[in-house]
């Protein structure tokens, strides 16, 4: 999961190549008396936020207190000061080095709670690598690949991981349910007047998580999908809105050309991957391109939704702001997802949507290169 999250950021950076303007860093040096919303490449919070804080960006650094909820999506996130209420975050890498007054909900590639970290509520985490060196005063519910617990958990714990390591400083004060690919394990001296139980059913829950990425199955998975889609759209829109705006200009005049370029991308990249994997020296490149290509398929309908909103905005000359476009794109993404799960028709529709989307972005990159050469 850590590698996937990092490569997602790398994939996003390829889209941003065609941007003509770079978003400035955002620095909050003055106390904010109300709810605060910020989106940019790098965000530094150096003053207190009296209300909620909602942010999206490549790198997010919180160096002062937030007195209500904190919601964020980005590449890297550093929490270095007190958060009074709930924290809900999705990022490639998250480091928590502060107190959180209530619950912490995390979706990430890598999550680290330092020795200074204290979560006064529950900790719910779905990530690749998870390290907990601090204290969790509520319930612990985590799922990941490599998990290290070397802190204190006051309430019940549910732990699901491929590889679980219990550190010498770990303390569990209530019942522990766990599943590990290695089977039953020794919790040593970490259990304080309680017991740990190996639960096979938790392993089945882990295998069912793959359904989330397909956007199907139960209502609860749909809710998770909608929240995840919103966070991804928020990041894409915050970082690459200029790329979408520029791509729309070419799309209006080159719809068929965009479709053709996109079709070449969808058919040509798999062939390029095969050729790269045949040659030993090209295997690392082939694996990297494969991951990027898979991401482009998984997140294609979200990118297409943003492009469609920008197309309509420009064609109808709508005066929509950042949040209007973000929520409209989320609605369109949900509709596209529903349409694309229709047998046969869904596959055809997906090919058309992805071809036009990536064709338009490719033409934008080509146009930007030509402009750069001319200058």
Q: What is the pLDDT of residues 2-32, one digit of tens each?
A: 334 333 433 443 333 333 334 457 899 999 9
Residue 86 near residue 68 (C-beta atoms within 8 A): no
List the one residue out of 19, 9, 4, 11 whose CA is nearest residue 365: 19
Q: Which pLDDT value is given to residue 260?
A: 84
In the block, which residue shows the tokens 């390029």? 272
Q: For residues 120 and 221, give the distance between their C-alpha atoms in angstroms, rounded to a whole number.
A: 27
Q: Which of 258, 239, 259, 254 is nearest to 19 (CA)?
A: 239
pLDDT of residue 375: 57
- What confidence score (pLDDT) does residue 17 get? 35
List strands edge to edge, sheet with 171-172: 99-100, 118-119, 135-136, 152-153, 171-172
- Rg for the chain (alpha carbons), in Å? 22
- The predicted structure's pLDDT at residue 167: 94
Question: What's residue 3's pLDDT?
Answer: 38
Rounded to whole angstroms, the Cα distance separating 236 from 329 reads 11
Give the per-residue pLDDT at 115. Answer: 97
Which residues of the chain register pLDDT less than 70? 1-24, 40, 204-225, 250, 252-253, 279-283, 365-375
Q: Give the integer Cα–Cα distance in Å for 354 and 307.
A: 11
User: What kind and span of H or E run contains 93?
Assistant: strand 87-96
Which secondary-structure segment (H or E) carries 126? strand 123-132
């Amino acid at each position: 999961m850590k590698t996937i999250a990092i490569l997602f950021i790398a994939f996003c950076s390829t889209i941003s190549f065609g941007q003509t303007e770079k978003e400035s860093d955002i620095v909050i040096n003055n106390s904010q008396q109300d709810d605060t919303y910020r989106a940019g490449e790098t965000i530094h919070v150096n003053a207190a936020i009296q209300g909620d804080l909602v942010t999206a960006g490549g790198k997010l650094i919180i160096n002062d207190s937030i007195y209500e909820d904190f919601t964020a999506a980005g590449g890297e996130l550093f929490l270095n000061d007190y958060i009074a209420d709930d924290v809900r975050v999705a990022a490639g890498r998250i480091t928590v080095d502060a107190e959180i007054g209530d619950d912490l909900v995390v979706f990430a590639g890598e999550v680290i709670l330092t020795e200074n970290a204290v979560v006064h509520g529950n900790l719910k985490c779905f990530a690749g690598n998870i390290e907990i060196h601090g204290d969790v005063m509520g319930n612990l519910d985590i799922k990941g690949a490599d998990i290290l617990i070397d802190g204190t958990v006051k309430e019940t714990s549910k732990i699901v991981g491929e590889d679980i390591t219990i550190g010498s400083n770990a303390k569990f004060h209530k019942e522990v349910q766990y599943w590990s690919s290695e089977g039953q394990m020794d919790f040593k001296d970490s259990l304080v007047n309680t017991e740990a139980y190996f639960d096979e059913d938790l392993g089945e829950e882990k295998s069912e998580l793959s359904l989330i990425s397909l956007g199907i199955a139960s209502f609860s998975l749909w809710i998770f999908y909608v929240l995840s889609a919103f966070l991804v759209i928020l990041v894409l829109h915050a970082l690459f809105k200029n790329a979408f705006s520029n791509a729309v200009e070419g799309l209006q005049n080159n719809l068929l050309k965009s479709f053709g370029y996109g079709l070449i991308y969808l058919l040509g990249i798999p062939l390029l991957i095969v050729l790269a994997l045949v040659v030993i020296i090209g295997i690392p490149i082939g694996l990297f391109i494969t991951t990027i290509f898979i991401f482009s398929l998984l997140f294609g309908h979200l990118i297409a939704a943003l492009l469609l909103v920008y197309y309509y905005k420009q064609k109808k000359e709508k005066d929509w702001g950042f949040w209007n476009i973000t929520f409209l794109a989320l609605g369109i993404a949900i509709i596209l997802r529903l349409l694309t799960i229709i047998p046969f028709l869904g596959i055809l529709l997906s090919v058309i949507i992805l071809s036009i989307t990536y064709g338009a972005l490719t033409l934008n990159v080509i146009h930007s290169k030509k402009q750069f050469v001319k200058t």
